[in-house]
Amino acid sequence: MTIDILIPTYNRPGALAVTLTSLIAQTYQDFRIIISDQTEDSNPVETGEVQAVLRVLRAHGHQVETHKHLPRRGIAEQRQFLLMQATAPYVLFLDDDLILEPYVVEQMLTALKEESCGFVGSAVIGLSFIDDIRPQEQKIEFWEGQVQPEIVKPETPEWERWRLHNAANIYHLQQRLNLTPDQSRKYHVAWVGGCVMYDTAKLHSIGGYLFWQELPPEHCGEDVLVQLRLMASYGGCGIIPSGVYHQELPTTIVNRAVPADKCVSILQINAPDEKCSRVGSPRT
């Protein structure tokens, strides 16, 4: 198996079913699916809509693993649990509220193999913003030549790259530049959320998400921290066209007062914030 697709989920049976459905028609099919559910009072994975899609995926020859992983200790611990289940050389962390074009998995794997970097991300597009064109947020820096390690720090021009991933900016940009899956480009990022493929060995080499033990259960920014570390050691990039759409549901991580990238040292790039202590109770 080349790819393990890792999906953390919480109380979203309908959205999860839609996300899984978009995996059925992927042009690249050598993957296993591992789902970790942290819903305390119900079993979304056992609902009819999710089970129906899982049956189709299994009929297509995919292995599917489902886990009930409780108690909830925060999203970083949930991701670390999923990572520990993975055995494939590449892992695709996929949020449970996305829709993927058929070319996405193959495009990301090809790019990651070509670059031998830490990660490749496909930024999510919010099509409710299709008429909200923001040219001031569409600056893009393409990689010319091989992706290289780089250090990205808060409050620098490089940090402002995150604005490209707002709303439908990526969609508007790929339309304007006439980019297609057979003419994709890699670009510099600050980080990418929602749909990111990692080199499994490289992700383990920087500690994965083991920093969850340094955080209170209510936190966010775990993907930011991991990607900043990977970029510093191995490089990382985004890929356009993206082909990934957000279902635009309310977040299940409501309390964002403790961002992991501000609370855990990133190779000594920043110092932990005083408010980041290992206290609190699991988010609800």
| 284 lies in some domain | no
Sign, CA torsion 278/210/86/230? positive
Q: For residue 86, name the pLDDT band (cuts at 50, 70, 90).
A: very high
| 282 lies in some domain | no
Residue 111, both tokens: 């790019």
| 269 lies in some domain | no
Output the pLDDT for position 282: 29
CATH number at residue 188: 3.90.550.10
- The share of the chain scoring above pLDDT 70, in percent, equals 92
Give the C-alpha separation, 122 to 105, whole Å.
Answer: 10
Dihedrals φ, ψ of 4, to 5°? -105, 120
| 277 lies in some domain | no
| 278 lies in some domain | no
8 A C-beta contact, residue 224 and residue 259:
yes
- Cα–Cα distance list, 214 to 16, 76, 245, 275 (Å): 29, 10, 32, 12
Give the C-alpha separation, 137 to 167, whole Å.
Answer: 10
User: How do residues 157-216 score in pLDDT, each as one tens digit?
Assistant: 999 999 999 999 999 999 999 999 999 999 999 999 999 999 999 999 999 999 999 998
Number of domains within the chain: 1
Residue 178, both tokens: 């006439």
Give the C-alpha separation, 137 to 214, whole Å.
Answer: 34
| 239 lies in some domain | yes
| 100 lies in some domain | yes
| 274 lies in some domain | no
Average predicted confidence (pLDDT) for the chain: 92
For residue 86, what are the domain limits? 3-263
Output the pLDDT for position 267: 63
